[in-house]
Each structure stands twice: as C-alpha cells, then as structure tokens.
Amino acid sequence: MAHDASDRHRPAPAGLTLTLGELEKRLDDFLREYLKGKSKETVGTYRRSLNEFERWFVRQKGRFRFREKDIEAYKRYLMEERGLHQVSVSTYLTAVRRFCQYLVDIGLLAENPARGVKGNRRPGTHSRSVLTRTEVEHLVASLDKTTRIGKRDRAIIYLMLFGGLSEIEVVRADLQDLEQTLLGWYLRVQGKGHTVKDQQVPVDPPVMDAIRLYLDTRRRIRPEDPLFVSHGHRSEGERLNTRSVRSRINLHLKKAGLKRPGVTPHSLTHTAALIWLNDGMSLEEVRQRMRHGTIDTTMIYFKKQGLLERDPEELKKLYRAEG
C-alpha cells in the first residue's frame, strides 16, 4: 500500500493535528483500504460510527489532537451529552480505536491513543425480552394458515422462533440455500458480518413443514429465487427487506397481545435458545445452532432459562416495573 512522504513522517508522542479535509481523506482511506473484504454491513457500521466522530471532531475546532485525553473526552460526550446506550458507546469507541490503529500503521501516529480507553462493559443479559412458553403457544395458535401471506409470515416466525434465525438471515435466504441431507434439512445462511453463506442451520421438521406450506402457494419458483418474497400488488415476487419482516412480525405480536416494552422481532431469535435449553439440548449444540463465537454468550441464555416458564402476567408486571 503506497503512501506519500507525509504518511511516513512519524510525529512526536504529543499527538496529531489534522484539518477537517485531512481527516476526511484519512477516514475514506481507512474505510476503503483497511476494511477491504469486510461485509457491507460491517463497513456501514464503521461509517456511521465514524460519522459521529467526525461531527465531534468539527466541534473541537482544532483542539482534538489524537491524544488519550482527547479520546476520553469523546467517550464522555457519547455517554453524557448523547446519552448513548453502553453497547453503542463501545461500538463507537471500537471504530475510533481501529481508525487510530490505521493512523499508527501508516506512520501518522506513534501509538494508538484509544487503546487505553475502554468501552463500557457489555451487559451480561440481552436487552431484548423473551417470550414465555405460554406466549409462544399463544403466538403460534394465532398465526393464519389459510392465506398466502399468512403462510409466509408463519414460516418466517417459525424459522426465527424455532430455528434461531435473525431477520437479516431470513431476508438473505434463497431457495437453493435449503439442503436435504441424511441428517435432515439445513439452511445455509450469511450471518451478520459475513460476506458469504458459510454457515449451516438445522431446519427441524415443524419448521420445514411451515416452509413447504408456504412454497406450495408460489408458482414457477427457481433455485435462485428468494425464499421469502412480497405479495403486494406492486412488489409481487420481490425479496422482502428487513423493514418489511420487522413490520409483519410486530403486527403479529400486537395481534396476539404480546407486544410490550423490550419485546421486538429479534426476541423470537433469543427465545429459540431458551426453548432448546429447556427441552434438554446441550449447551454446545445450542451454541452451534445460535452460531455463538464462545460458550460464554450461550451461558447468558442458560442463566435465563427460568424466564421461559414465567407467568406472562408476572412478566408484564416485571417489565412495567423496570420501565
């Protein structure tokens, strides 16, 4: 990777002064070169996080010099002035830390000033609430199996609730990603941060039955077609997007009387892990199905198993108290 003579200049540890134009150029280079090969979603996350950093940089009017105390000031801004959730603060600081490392690698900084500024600790529990077993049964019983859209929505909910898929994985799925083996059906998925469909998710018989019921309503389907499409007058046959999936699931949650603070479409994905654990599946198998990087993440669900059996009314009181 070639850089001009100024890139090779290594300044004193006092920091680095950049104009806004110079910062914008370095940010563009970072996103283009340092994140080469990353997924569009990953690059987008970094871009949004660094846009916030750039806005902060402008407000400093030349006082920001890439020193540790400058990064600490940025963190305080995110926490106190912006009032961001601790997970968001960690995400924003990670982006700045990586950008600073890029400046070190090309010789503009002697050391990474963000290395010693830690993000807020991620919570030990998931912020999204889960459904109880009674609520799962109620939601399933409320789903329509007579119309094409109803069958489609039911198949999507089954994949998330009993298959552990996320919204984006549902949206990206194609018909050819479904594979039958001697051990049963699997769906190849492209998870968050991945650029290819390099993971397999088991599709249990009830979920596969729901998918078949929906596919039987579609004509002339080809392997390369999306697994789930729109059935609106203007968008017939087009791939569903995440906003549409989210909207449809929220509609069904409201219809079933299950919508409350903390319960989102992604709650279905979280609930899947609890269902498996409560049904006796091993921690390791749940980790593999949820595609967790470490067993520690799966342990968060293990500690929350009791929520699946809680009385729905008791849970609603709990969530109201927390709110």
Chain segment 161-181, per-residue pLDDT in tens: 999 999 989 999 999 999 999
- Structural domain boundaries enclosing 151: 133-317
Residue 124 lies in a domain: no
pLDDT attached to residue 82: 77
Residue 229 lies in a domain: yes
Helix 20-29, helix 86-105: angle, nearest 10: 90
Order the strands of the 178-181 sheet from edge to edge.
178-181, 184-189, 199-203
pLDDT surpassing 90 at residue 205: yes
Residue 144 lies in a domain: yes
- Model confidence band, residue 193 (pLDDT cutoffs 50, 70, 90): low
pLDDT attached to residue 320: 46
Residues 59 and 157 in one domain: no
Q: Please give the mean pLDDT across all residues of the chain.
A: 85
Per-residue three-class SS string for 224-237: CCECCECCCCCCCC
Chain segment 215-256, per-residue pLDDT in tens: 999 988 999 999 999 998 888 999 999 889 999 999 999 999
Question: For the chain, first and last CA: distance in Å?
Answer: 51
Residues 196 and 266 in one domain: yes
Residues 93 and 235 in one domain: no
188 vs 10, higher pLDDT = 188
pLDDT surpassing 50 at residue 319: no
Residues 101 and 141 in one domain: no
Beta bridge partners of 187: 178, 201
| Structural domains of the chain, count | 2
Longest pairwise C-alpha distance within the chain: 71
Q: What is the CATH number of the domain that holds 163?
A: 1.10.443.10
pLDDT surpassing 70 at residue 128: no
Q: Last residue of some domain: 105, 125, 147?
A: 105
Residue 210 lies in a domain: yes
